[in-house]
A = this chain, B = another copy of it.
């Protein structure tokens, strides 16, 4: 069944077969090896070290045409993005990423060069997060479907959930918001300028090390910004039963972003408050003294007023921008 890989990388999967593809991917991701995986690809299961006695796990699914377009992003960029999203979810618990497993379904006529690019992106992003690719599964489908499951280790610390924010505390951010959304808006209008934003969309750079750093510093609640700042802070507010007020001056729009938004006829605040794909981390701390280097204070935590609901405000006002998007609403 398994045959030798074609040498020019442009042949289809049909010739390579399932086991040939698995061998090719396995060879390509071997360079992620870092000692966190006791048994890698090639058996019924992988074995990943979990020295803490607990393992943090997050899974995401990605569908061609919905989460990525093969004409807007290179295979390598897509690999980076899907790995980054899962790894950021692990970091957002305060855990150090350890391993990834990946499921892939794709058309039989997918070019091997595309699959090689995807695999390279996945492996490079894993290496950035210091995680090893431990295994996966491949199958056939009419469109590309990718599932990424990331594992992480808490190193003895409590997991930082969304529910621990307390009135009197501050909210801080590590990483950027809005840049990836600006990049997506540029691409979807067929524009070419604004390379930094396009790059932010194609290859987000989650601040992986800041998750464990926040946990060590005593963060009370944390999540990654994947649905949009307002919506994700809304998750913390709801889970913690608090009101979070954002300091609007913390998010002044960069002149370059304002210029591009104006050219596109869009409101850049929708990118900053509603865009999720930068994978910044946001966390609530007991007070300013706990906020570690690499984080910047953007707001404060308040009790929910009598008769009110947990919510997120900007400078005390309920914002009109509805951040995030619903996967089934469109």
A residues contacting B by CB (< 8 A) are 1, 13-14, 16-19, 21, 38-39, 42-63, 66-67, 89-90, 92-93, 95, 99, 101-105, 108, 134-143, 145, 147, 149-152, 154, 159, 161-162, 222-224, 239, 324, 326-330
Contacts and interface: CB of A to CB of B under 8 A. Distances in A.
Query: Which among A1, A59, A99, A161 has the highest number of chain B CB atoms within 10 Å?
Result: A59
Contacts of A55: 47-48, 50, 55, 151
Nearest to A88: B44
Contacts of A43: 93, 159, 161-162, 223, 239
Identical chains bound together, number: 2
B140 A328 contact: yes
A58 B45 contact: yes
A196 B159 CA distance: 46
Contact of A50 (B46, B54, B137, B239): B54
B102 A59 contact: yes
A142 B224 CA distance: 28
Given A1-B329, A14-B329, A328-B18, A57 B67 contact: no
A57 B134 contact: yes
B140 A63 contact: yes
A62 B137 CA distance: 10
Given A61-B147, A223-B44, A16 B139 contact: no
A70 to B, nearest CB: 15
Given A51-B53, A67-B139, A142-B143, 6 more contacts: A1-B326, A14-B328, A44-B89, A47-B56, A61-B138, A145-B147
Contacts of A150: 45
B103 A60 contact: yes
